[in-house]
Structure 1
Amino acid sequence: MAELAGLEDAKARAVNERHGDDHGVNLGKLRALAKRLGTRQELAYGLWETQDTAARLLALLICRPKAFTRDELDAMVREGRPPKVHDWLVNYVVKKSPHADELRLAWMEDPDPVVAGAGWALTTERVAKKPEGLDLAGLLDVIEAEMKDAPARLQWAMNHCLARIGIDHAEHRARAIGIGERLEVLKDYPTSPGCTSPFAPAWIAEMVRREAG
């Protein structure tokens, strides 16, 4: 914790806080510290229990994802509210867990929009890498009915799922683009030059173009 405190940087904190993350540690330096420590599951538990955001990010880098029980992961996703903690928890830990699909199904139905967003993120992973058994048309039905009025982080996760269905599954592409065009979610999202817009129709078109080229 003392070493993490020594990495605190006021400028980094200002940037992070604009994105909802309450820490001031440069992520490159955090990753370097994690590399030096190696995998340390007990230390990861201790760091997570501090409730400090930088410590929790470090914990997610040095833990063993398969060592957590289903209930531990469920509690962690409810506690890890800062966006970067939530993102790393889902992508670096839950996706590698044997409990991932069970949690995916439970979380998608959760009334907490941040937890539901984690369920949608896991579903997007399935859409892209292991779509067997998924009801893609049914997912599009839910997105069409609920995405427009969903809270921001849940809306972002549902939009990502919509885009991946359109990108990876040609038979659903026209419908995915049509849903995006009608709902106009993230249509005016500011996008830096050279970056792909998160507006689903533009995102789908660009990724399909790249894959074809």
Structure 2
Amino acid sequence: MERSSKAESILDQINSKTKLGDLRKIAKDVKKDHNLAMELWSSGELLPRLLAILIMDNKLLSQDLINKLSKDMQDHPLDERNQLMDWLMANQLSKDKKTVTLMESWRNSPSSLQRRIFWYYQARLRWLGQTPPPNTEELLSTIEKQIENEEPEVQWAMNFTAGWIGVFDKKHRIRCIGIGEKTGLYKGEMVSKGCTPDYLPEFIAIESNKRNL
């Protein structure tokens, strides 16, 4: 894609020292500019793509375009593509009813990143204190059947969902702890100071104690 002088000027401002806060400042100045977002996205680089997501018009985020973005993300290392997809969810997909409906349809998407976001969004509904849909039993059954065979990026999000269900829904707490004990996912994994381990028995105990639940 041939880029405009505006896109080139913005790209010149981004380097290895650029922080996420700097990207947000640029996005605040630019506001919404979907064409510019696509130009920045075409750079193929992480930081310009994170900025592109901030200035996209979510009204133009069709399933076809999201499929293209998801495919492009696969060119990044695992941590970067997860960051890009999670950033897209938080800053765009969760902001519009149409794209929320799309996310809710991705449980069996052929895209592992879209499946990740299906589960991450379900977790988000719970940890942000929103009233979750009445699908908890169904979600847990799917997690129990599929988590051990899923891609790593999807496993994490399924585990995260089970964790928050276990924190906020006491009647399912033992079941969620049992998922962690059975799979052993993230057991013994070291985490940074102040962070909660992802191993479900520890995660649920720590986060529920924080909230006196």
- Which bracket does the TM-score occupy, shorter chain normalised? 0.7 to 0.9
Identity between Structure 1 and Structure 2 (%): 28
* 2-structure distance, mates of 1:120, 1:79: 21
Residue by residue over 1:182-210, the C-alpha shift from the partner in whole angstroms, topping out at 9 and shown as x without a partner, is: 21111122211222111122111111111
Change in CA separation of 1:94 and 1:121 when aligned onto 2, cut-off 3 Å:
same
| Secondary structure, aligned partner of 1:99 | helix
Root-mean-square deviation (Å)? 2.3
More moved, 112-121 vs 44-53: 44-53
Which amino acid in the other structure matches residue 98 of structure 1? K
Correspondence for 1:110: 109
Change in CA separation of 1:98 and 1:68 when aligned onto 2, cut-off 3 Å:
same
Alpha-carbon offset, residue 101 of structure 1: 4.0
Alpha-carbon offset, residue 67 of structure 1: 4.0
Alignment pair present for 1:189 and 2:189:
yes
Determine if contact 1:184/1:199 at 8 Å carries over to the other structure.
yes
Alignment pair present for 1:91 and 2:87:
no
Which amino acid in the other structure matches residue 51 of structure 2? L
Alpha-carbon offset, residue 166 of structure 1: 0.7
Q: What is the total number of aligned residue pairs between the two structures?
A: 198
Q: Which runs of 5+ in 1 are unaligned?
A: 13-24
Which amino acid in the other structure matches residue 207 of structure 2? M
| Secondary structure, aligned partner of 1:115 | helix
Which TM-score applies when normalising by structure 1?
0.81
Residue 71 (structure 1) aligned to one of 44, 49, 64: 64
Q: Which runs of 5+ in 2 are unaligned?
A: 1-7, 75-80
* 1-structure distance, mates of 2:91, 2:13: 25
Alpha-carbon offset, residue 127 of structure 1: 4.2
Alpha-carbon offset, residue 168 of structure 1: 1.8
Residue by residue over 1:137-185, the C-alpha shift from the partner in whole angstroms, topping out at 9 and shown as x without a partner, is: 2211121122123221111111111111111212211111111122111
More moved, 183-192 vs 30-39: 30-39
Alpha-carbon offset, residue 115 of structure 1: 2.4
Correspondence for 2:3: none
* 1-structure distance, mates of 2:100, 2:53: 19
Runs of 4+ in 1 over 6 A off after TM superposition: none
Correspondence for 1:56: 49
Which amino acid in the other structure matches residue 64 of structure 1? D
Residue by residue over 1:41-75, the C-alpha shift from the partner in whole angstroms, topping out at 9 and shown as x without a partner, is: 33223323443332221111122334433432343
Alignment pair present for 1:32 and 2:33:
no
Determine if contact 2:70/2:85 at 8 Å carries over to the other structure.
yes
